[in-house]
Chains A and B, each alone.
Chain A
Amino acid sequence: MGVAIRVIPCLDVDAGRVVKGVNFANLRDAGDPVELAARYGAEGADEVTFLDVTASSAGRATMLDVVRRTAEQVFVPLTVGGGVRSTDDVDILLRAGADKVGVNTAAIARPELISEIARRFGNQVLVLSVDARRCAGDTVTPSGYEVTTHGGRRGTGIDAVEWARQGAEWGAGEILLNSMDADGTTDGFDIQIIKEVRDVVSVPLIASGGAGRPEDFIAAAHAGADAVLAASVFHFGTLSIGQVKEAMRSAGIAVR
């Protein structure tokens, strides 16, 4: 028994609109994150993630409204990440209706943020988002992967596997492991780093980046992921949530 592998669609939201493109028939407004979240919820998504890519403060207020409206009609867990810098930011998102909050860059700048959030709200609300990339050039880390920021454009020199381990130790209740090498390629998840992080963390692990075919999701689950996250394959209708789950079920993996 135990919990099923979760299948999570991720929506990038900018100023209240879904970006990165969505190609769905039968949607009134393919750019409306609330409508899309509801659609994914109805299709069997085990959780929905919003990534707020807005830079402006007006956009942030819009995001809160999106979270509120989504929480009113989508009765599965909702995670919101992007731009979270303080425990007060977390509080505002949770009050708006988010169940979990993703933290990324701000925790790299100030790791104490992880324990501050966990102490105030419990570790189950905190998803540490790790944008990992294979080391290139002069950068060397023990695992061969480093943590990046700014969508993979800036390296930090921090070992990605060690960072995930520490983050969980400090109070992150979950690790969202996003491979910046695989992201957008649809060539499959980076299985090696999933295995390496799985070996050192005992909190749930979400694999992200590179999903293209149903087999990719199966491979990530076999490598130790507790959840699999994807964006474009779902948005463009290449794969449905149902197809991914059916493939995993056929491979003997428990799904809802």
Chain B
Amino acid sequence: MPTVTVFDYGFGNVRSAVRALEHVGADVTLTSDRATAENADGLVVPGVGAFAACMEGLRAARGDQIVGRRLAGGRPVLGICVGMQIMFERGVEHGEEAAGLHEWPGTIELLQAPVIPNMGWAQVTPPAETVLFKGVEDERFYFVHSYGAREFPLEHDDTGRLKRPLVTWSEAGDGANADRFVAAVENGPLCATQFHPEKSGEAGLQLLRNWVATL
């Protein structure tokens, strides 16, 4: 049974993430202990609320170093919601800019949709090579957020030096008002979802099962 640490740094409905991961067969520990978090087969970084506050909390628990070390060693990390957003270069909320972990270039900014927060079940468009969405490509997932990555600069990197991350998009708002944003990224050991797989019913559980199977 793969071991998973859900990083407990004071942000996010961590209980749900723990239960959902247990449900799909992981041996889950909820902790901010550095050794446990570094050595688990998988690390989940949850997060809700404000980008800057989450980053502050993460740094206070040395989560930035833990994530960096794990990724340098090729050990899987899964960011959820604001736990995905902080993997980007920076976040801008209420005109204030905060630095993220900068695993990916790009900015987290306010969505341009008529109804904000973007709350509810939305479809996603995963690429053909997806591992996370295998078997649930056409399902809806539960989102609740006001900010997101509306661009993913690495997608346009055509130098051929990088294996490009797999990006899954979704949209807030309808028709002409639709605003495209990053719903998930699969990038070697680093995966992340803007939606909450632990709150996305059977589809979300399947996604977590797919991730746990890679550990």
Residues of chain A having any CB pair with chain B under 8 Å: 1-6, 41, 46, 68, 71-73, 75-77, 94-99, 121-125, 173-174, 202-204, 226-227, 256
Contact = CB atoms under 8 A, between A and B. Distances in A.
Interface string B122-164: 1100000000000000001011111000000000000000000
B213 interface: no
A75 B20 CA distance: 7
24 contacts: A1-B170, A1-B174, A2-B173, A2-B174, A2-B178, A3-B119, A3-B120, A4-B140, A46-B120, A75-B20, A75-B202, A76-B201, A77-B199, A97-B15, A99-B13, A99-B16, A124-B119, A202-B114, A202-B115, A203-B115, A203-B116, A226-B115, A226-B119, A256-B140
Contacts of A124: 48-49, 117, 119, 144-146
Contacts of A256: 121, 140
Nearest to A121: B49
A176 to B, nearest CB: 12
Given A75-B200, A77-B142, A97 B13 contact: yes
**Secondary structure class of chain B's binding surface, majority of residues:** mixed
B15 A123 contact: no
B48 A1 contact: no
A76 B144 CA distance: 12
B169 to A, nearest CB: 10
Nearest to A46: B121
A41 B170 CA distance: 24
B107 interface: no
Contact of B198 (A5, A75, A202): A75
B119 A75 contact: no
B135 to A, nearest CB: 16
A71 B15 contact: yes
A76 B199 contact: yes
Contacts of B3: none
B133 to A, nearest CB: 16
A72 B15 CA distance: 8
Interface in B97-123: 113-123
A98 B15 CA distance: 10
A227 B16 contact: no
Contacts of A72: 19
Contact of B116 (A4, A122, A202): A202
The 3 closest A-B pairs by CB, nearest first: A3-B120, A122-B49, A1-B171
B215 interface: no
B118 A3 contact: yes
A72 B198 CA distance: 11
B23 A75 contact: yes
A230 to B, nearest CB: 17
B120 A204 contact: yes
B120 A71 contact: no
Contacts of A41: 201
A2 B13 contact: no
Nearest to B124: A1
Contacts of A46: 120-121, 142
